[in-house]
Amino acid sequence: MKKEKALVWFRRDLRDHDHAALSAALAGAQQVYCAFVFDTEILDALPSRRDRRVHFIRESLLELDAALRKKGGGLIVRHGKAGEEIPALARELGVSAVFSNRDYEPAAKQRDVAVARALEADGIEFHTFKDQAIFDGDEVLTQAGKPFSVFTPYKNAWLKRLTVADSAVWPCTGQLASSDLSSVPTLTEIGFETTDLAEVGIQPGMAGARALWDEFRDGRITRYGALRDFPAVKGVSYLSVHLRFGTISIRELVRAALAAEANVWLSELIWRDFYFMILDRFPHVVGHAFKPDYDAIRWADWPEGFAAWCEGRTGYPLVDAAMRQLNFSGWMHNRLRMVVASFLTKDLGLDWRLGERYFAEQLNDFDLSANNGGWQWASSSGCDAQPYFRIFNPITQSEKFDPDGKFIRRYVPELAKVPNKYIHAPWLMGRIEQEAIGVVIGRDYPGPIVDHAKAREETLARYAVVKKAV
């Protein structure tokens, strides 16, 4: 028997289609209301009032509200502590159940437990659904019944378990309930400012996701494996911010990857599930190494080095170009994320948590699970991480993945006239040649902040404490 009234609480799932919680609510209740909360516990912690992610969310909510109105409803948007706003709204609307999709971050899980208790005290049910992952909970375990900590066996088990039903569409047909409470506040009303989303090429919402996805699916998905490592080439999907905020369904992407036999692309989607699982099952990774022995490493205390890394003036062109891309656009190519993370931890000897925090502030697509997983992988402290003695050489990475310096010249324009022979290590140019092209190292562009070979030896010594412990 259908419930009379229900409320769908949108969070990281800003779409009106293939939506688990919305589908379940429409199937289980006669009247369905929809809500989103600009959670002040999250917003108040942001370092800037000019945050592209908040702007992205707000623009996506406008589109979502319009889509829900076409179904007869609309989006009720509140601004406050979500743990208080949702129970209060549920009481105000007189619903008997709240439907939402699961989140795997520790703070979100704690919030949801508090919401469930508050709702229960009012006699209101709280139902959560798997939506942003293909598998969660106990669905993919080792033969011993434990969570995986190594990716490849996890991937194999994931693929073995996968059925057509796991990536099937959640239908969201039916009439929603209208409410005079429905409205989307302006950025000013929630204390934020308009940003440069359009200038950096970001189209929010379902329409933005659809445009990127159609182009990638129809043109590049089968070539992803060959193109994905070259930052000057249009080879990746650029969908990460849309996956982060759920303006596109992960199930649709998996279906397409399987249909196209795009196995490399599919592996990246499985990595996403893997890191969700790690965060869900091993929450100590927030602030601590997945492998506890790595917390014994004594990192360098070098604020000037960290500042140079943040600002893209390390003297290593590919590292600097990557950091400047991040600072300009809020996005960084995945290959470059690995390069700059390795450089911070193993060339500069700085704590991976410094880089993780800087990325968290800068990335439009910031996702705690993937960001933490990536940084711990680079620093060798994480699950299935690269060995501590594997240290990316920023020069050979540059030569291999930006051979003509096209990406470097875009983001480090002061090196535009440097010949290809020297673009990856411009300090190797002679002084006469530097003067001739107007690029004097130390004046127009910094010399290398560290010597990579020497830094490598220091890193091996720094990690020796771990080698002894493991």
The residues assigned a catalytic role are: 268, 271, 299, 334, 352, 375
Rounded to whole angstroms, the Cα distance separating 149 from 384 reads 7
- By three-state DSSP, how is residue 272 classified? helix
CB-CB contact of 18 with 72 (8 Å)? no
Handedness of CA 191, 197, 198, 199 (dihedral sign): positive
- In what helix (H) or strand (E) does residue 36 lie, and over which residues does it extend? strand 29-39
Rounded to whole angstroms, the Cα distance separating 27 from 171 reads 9
Count of CB atoms within 10 A of residue 244's CB? Answer: 18
Rounded to whole angstroms, the Cα distance separating 416 from 401 reads 18
Residues 6+ apart with CB under 8 A from 154: 140, 148, 270, 274, 277
CB-CB contact of 25 with 99 (8 Å)? yes
Rounded to whole angstroms, the Cα distance separating 347 from 379 reads 11
Type of residue numbered 96: S
Helices H, strands E: what count in the chain? 21, 5
- Distances in Å between the alpha carbon of 60 and those of 48, 201, 331? 20, 15, 18
CA-based nearest residue to 257, from 244, 231, 239: 239
User: What are the beta bridge partners of residue 31?
Assistant: 5
What is the pairing mode between strands 29-39 and 75-80?
A: parallel
Residues 6+ apart with CB under 8 A from 217: 256, 260
Burial of 204: CB neighbours in 10 Å, binned 0-12, 13-18, 19+: buried
Residue-wise DSSP of 146-199: ----SHHHHHHHHHHH--GGGG------SPPPP-TT-B---TGGGT-----TTT
